[in-house]
Structure 1
Amino acid sequence: MCYTTSIVPQLLFNLSRADKSISFGGCVLFIALGLGGVECVLLSVMAYDRYVAVCRPLHYMVIVHPQLCLQLVVTAWLTGFGNSVVQTALTMTLPLCGKNQVDHFFCEVPVMLKLACTNTSLNEAELFAVSVFFLVVPLSLILVSYGHITHAVLKIKSARGRQKAFGTCGSHLTVVIIFFGTLISMYLQPPSSYSQDVNKSIALFYTLVTPLLNPLIYTLRNKEVKGALRRQMRRILDVRQS
């Protein structure tokens, strides 16, 4: 909720104006960069939580104790916003030239680097390294966790037990695929492999569509939500038939 709120209201405000201009202050996406980094780290933390819950259920309360949870959350927030400080400082201090036309819906770091009238190879290398740290490393940890989870679940003899275990992880894995897939395609793609229109569509997906899907994906595990959806679908079908 915080991540999409830090971007979408400013985006809508800028698009609603006749000249579609964005102020320099509106381009400083310190909060959005920080929350994006926090999201990446927290998704890997959630994968570890599910690994312990499935693979070591009897030791869960001992391993995932409140102090560890607090340490992991604090680490995620400090890491995300620490990176945001560095990225914002390096990007917003670049000299800009020309008409400063941002070919995007909002000011992302790769887009801002294209406006600089100086050599940005160092910035691009730093951005690539940070992207690997926040995207490839957490995704690798998540995949390793789910490899262990899959191996443990397949050992369960009960079909109902396997279904319950996979159901615990399914919603999280869906969010991981959508979120990391779009971010990796944006930040780790070869130069000019996609058109700018495709890049803008991808950016809208992980800043707007994914946060909107998160509540739906996670709550579909809830029996009450499933029951409410079934009742609503029956009402709609009954109205159409009548």
Structure 2
Amino acid sequence: MKIVVIGGTGLIGSKVVAKLGEHGHEAVAASPNTGVNTLTGEGLADVLAGAAVVIDLSNSPSFEDAAVLEFFETSTRNLLAAEAVAGVGHHVALSVVGTERLPGNGYFRAKIAQEKLIEGSSIPYSILHATQFFEFARSIADAGTDGGTVRMPPVLFQPIAGDEVAQAVGRIAVGSPLNGRVDVAGPEQFRMDVFFRDALAAWHDPREVVTDPHARYFGSELANGSLVPAGEAILGEIRYADWPGRIPTGE
């Protein structure tokens, strides 16, 4: 089966391409550096020829509110239009758990717009909502940094290993379209401030983690359930404490 992975050279995309290839599928990585640009439409017709499934793992180069909205609306419209011409039978997109709960967050608004375009198209689809990746823990800590402190709210946090997100994406892609959404999350819930206090200690990071109920997550104040699945979810098996990348080599 030919499966085109938009954003196939990125963190999750490269893992998805590798896993699908291991299972005998023709997995094609598509991104601007392979000559495929969803914003301009460049290369889409050629790469989608003969494709049964398209997995969209692309991300905006800018997280500024207007830019990220423009990226997801334009690229999704171009991609869906090209898929319709090519006869693609399944569109799979990766989104974020909690998009609908944080309407004040520009990135989440853009992901909602992307999802509405997918749901309104004629192409059968599956949307996978994932929680935060282990790999992004440091960038989340950096975003919450204020001087020598890291401000984190005491809310639930359920991160997952990127490998397990890729595994879930691959399984959804080779199955029948859900024409709906499914959540994927890590096996454990933490309190966000406690998680980062322990994580920074393991990194030998001197910043102090301060519990702040009003601390913002990329601009948004969080409620207790903002970032975790509200109902059933596919759960990973890798615990953060057992994840090989928890303490990078050399530390």
TM-score, with normalisation over the residues of structure 2? 0.23
TM-score, with normalisation over the residues of structure 1? 0.24
Question: Which structure: greater helix fraction?
Answer: 1
Structure number with larger C-alpha Rg: 1
Question: Which structure: greater strand fraction?
Answer: 2
